[in-house]
Amino acid sequence: MATLASHQSIAVATDNRFFRWSAYVMTALIILGFSTQVALGRSSFASPPLVHAHAIVFMGWVGLYLAQSVLATTGSIALHRRLGWLAALWIPAMLVLGCMVTVAIVQRGQVPFFFTPLQFLVFDPLTLFTFAALSTAAIVLRRHTGWHRRLHFSGMAILMGPAIGRLIPLPLLSPLAFEATLLGVLAFPVAGIIADQRRSGSIHPAWTWGLVAILGSTIIIEAITYSPLGTSLYTAITDGTPGAAVAPHGFPAPPGMPITK
């Protein structure tokens, strides 16, 4: 019995270490991705208030995720639970601001040139709703630690897309820039699966649900993007705006290059 308890204690400690250090890595990659673009002059603080609000709320979530991961794995469970309700209220704000920023970018005709405008219009919001679904499921299953932390981890992984996209040469990967970013996102739950396998010889079923959610949302994104529904959505949202002059399936001209169509 003592030996079994010892093995269980080691497994819990190893599990805690994986999730805590994963939160450190995710946070570092997000900061590195966005700060690198500022340092290179590709991003500017001279952005509309909506963009600043979006940045504050999303970085706030990153801070919450990091804090929650540290609290949950170092024994500060009471504070972890109190902050959890703040996180639950944070998610709707992320959905609203994320969708508003996406629509504003598309309507201004300023979609990054390595994505098609319609693809950007579809994948940005649907990625957020997938994150929200995984995070909500994690909150519902908060009493089941294995499910709770892995679903939250999968939700956080899908938010890593923008940071990963800023660290890899997306212009060179077009027209598969979105798919290339997806591979970076999938690396996180795959790392979790490998960690489970090495630690206990089995894989927690929450990873399957996380992967299904991420890959399933990708299939839906691709289906809408290349369907009449996607085209109708783009037309309705861009009507009467500069974005209406940009072809929904065309790649915008890179900065500094003339628009030929």
The total number of structural domains in the chain stands at 1
Q: What's the pLDDT at 10? A: 55
In a domain, 121, yes or no: yes
Domain that residue 78 falls in: 15-30+46-240
Question: What distance in Å separates the CA atoms of residue 178 and residue 187, rounded to the nearest whole number?
Answer: 15
Q: What's the pLDDT at 256? A: 52
Question: What distance in Å separates the CA atoms of residue 85 and residue 147, rounded to the nearest whole number?
Answer: 18
In a domain, 217, yes or no: yes
Whether a cis peptide bond, with omega within 30° of 0, leads into 189 is: no
**In this predicted model, what pLDDT tens digit does every residue of 193-251 receive, in sequence order?**
999 999 989 999 999 999 999 999 999 999 999 999 999 999 999 999 999 999 999 88
In a domain, 39, yes or no: no
Question: What distance in Å separates the CA atoms of residue 24 and residue 216, rounded to the nearest whole number?
Answer: 27
In a domain, 232, yes or no: yes
Q: Which of 65, 222, 56 is nearest to 134 (CA)?
A: 65
Q: What's the pLDDT at 253? A: 75
List of the chain residues with pLDDT < 70? 1-13, 44-45, 256-261
In a domain, 35, yes or no: no
CB 123 within 8 Å of CB 178: yes
Question: What distance in Å separates the CA atoms of residue 151 and residue 157, rounded to the nearest whole number?
Answer: 10
Q: What is the pTM of this model?
A: 0.90
In a domain, 224, yes or no: yes
In a domain, 254, yes or no: no
In a domain, 225, yes or no: yes
